[in-house]
């Protein structure tokens, strides 16, 4: 006769209960102090040994795995905390480096102003013109500091340009390399004190230099200074260096290219000269 599912469950439960009672009784009996083990206890221990061993390894593996997972979680938390601290320290270090660089720039400004006989007004560069057709920057001072059009603008390295458009609180500076017509100045060769003319836009980043007379001979490496006859700039301020000299076919005429001494791509502060 086939047992119904409910009857099968009851038989299984009764069987498990009997086995549990037998095992419990044997375990209780084996825990008592005796001189000799009975045969049933020996059979029970032998039968139970593989399960005890397996249970031991499973328990040990589970415990080790749990401890390993806890250690990994703790290491992950510590790693996250260390990364947070490293990020904070990196930010603080960057801020300190910026403050150090700012202090060095301010110290250079003070030293340059103290060593110059000119009346210099330091001002920060706040914008640059990205156009390829002009070379200008915007500074953060204007008419509120007494600035007017065409006042000279210099750096510690040399001439930068002059004020082009002056607003109440800002000014546009036309740089030496700007190619627009009228952006020119006179200079002298430091080596010979002979007069030359400098024009913006000779090549990208360079100025065109022409001799004032056929007898004037330029050489690569010549330093060009502002001339006493310069319309806007004080004399004897470095303009730049001759990097290339070209001669006409007959050898009488020359033109050259000048690299400005001021690094226009890295200018952060400039000086406006209030007196020539």
Q: Which residues pair with 165 in a beta bridge?
A: 172
CB 237 within 8 A of CB 118: no
pLDDT for 80 equals 86
DSSP assignment string, 65-86:
HHHHHHHHHHHHHHHHHHHHHH
pLDDT for 248 equals 79
What's the Cα-to-Cα distance from 201 to each of 132, 207, 258, 259, rounded to whole Å?
10, 6, 10, 11
pLDDT for 265 equals 85
Give me the CATH topology for the region 120-175: Thrombin, subunit H (2.40.10)
Burial class (CB in 10 A: 0-12, 13-18, 19+), 177: buried
Work out the average pLDDT over 139-143. Answer: 94
In this predicted structure, the answer to whether residue 89 has a pLDDT above a threshold of 60 is yes
In this predicted structure, the answer to whether residue 17 has a pLDDT above a threshold of 80 is no
In this predicted structure, the answer to whether residue 131 has a pLDDT above a threshold of 90 is no
Show the tokens assigned to 245: 């000299």
Residues 6+ apart with CB under 8 A from 140: 123, 124, 125, 126, 169, 170
pLDDT for 24 equals 66
pLDDT for 27 equals 60
Q: Which residues pair with 225 in a beta bridge?
A: 188, 238
pLDDT for 112 equals 64
The region, left, alpha or beta by phi > 0 then psi within -120 to 50, assigned to residue 230 is beta
Q: What is the pTM of this model?
A: 0.62
SS3 18: helix
| Residue scoring higher pLDDT (18 or 208) | 208
Mean pLDDT of the chain: 82
CATH class assigned to 184-262: mainly beta
State the Cα–Cα distance between residues 172 and 240, nearest whole angstrom. Answer: 22
């Amino acid at each position: 006769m086939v047992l119904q599912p409910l009857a099968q469950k009851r038989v299984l439960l009764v069987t498990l209960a009997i086995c549990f009672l037998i095992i419990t009784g044997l375990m209780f009996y084996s825990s008592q102090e005796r001189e000799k083990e009975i045969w049933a206890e020996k059979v029970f221990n032998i039968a139970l040994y593989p399960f005890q061993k397996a249970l031991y390894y499973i328990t040990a593996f589970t415990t080790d795995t749990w401890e390993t997972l806890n250690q990994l979680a703790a290491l992950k938390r510590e790693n996250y905390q260390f990364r947070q601290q490293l990020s904070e320290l990196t930010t603080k270090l960057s801020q300190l480096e910026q403050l150090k660089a700012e202090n060095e720039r301010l110290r250079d400004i003070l030293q340059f102003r103290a060593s110059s006989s000119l009346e210099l007004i330091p001002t920060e560069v706040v914008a640059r013109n990205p156009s390829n057709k002009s070379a200008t920057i915007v500074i953060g001072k204007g008419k509120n500091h007494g600035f007017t059009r065409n006042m000279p603008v210099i750096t510690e390295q040399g001439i930068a340009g002059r004020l082009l458009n002056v607003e109440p609180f800002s000014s546009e500076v036309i740089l030496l390399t700007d190619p627009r017509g009228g952006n020119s100045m006179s200079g002298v060769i430091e080596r010979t004190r002979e007069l030359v003319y400098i024009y913006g836009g000779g090549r990208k980043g360079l100025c065109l230099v022409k001799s004032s007379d056929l007898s004037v001979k330029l050489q690569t490496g010549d330093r060009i200074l502002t001339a006493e006859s310069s319309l806007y700039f004080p004399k004897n301020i470095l303009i730049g260096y001759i990097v290339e000299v070209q001669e006409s076919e007959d050898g009488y005429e020359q033109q050259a290219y000048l690299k400005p001494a001021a690094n226009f791509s890295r200018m952060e502060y400039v000086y406006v000269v209030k007196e020539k």
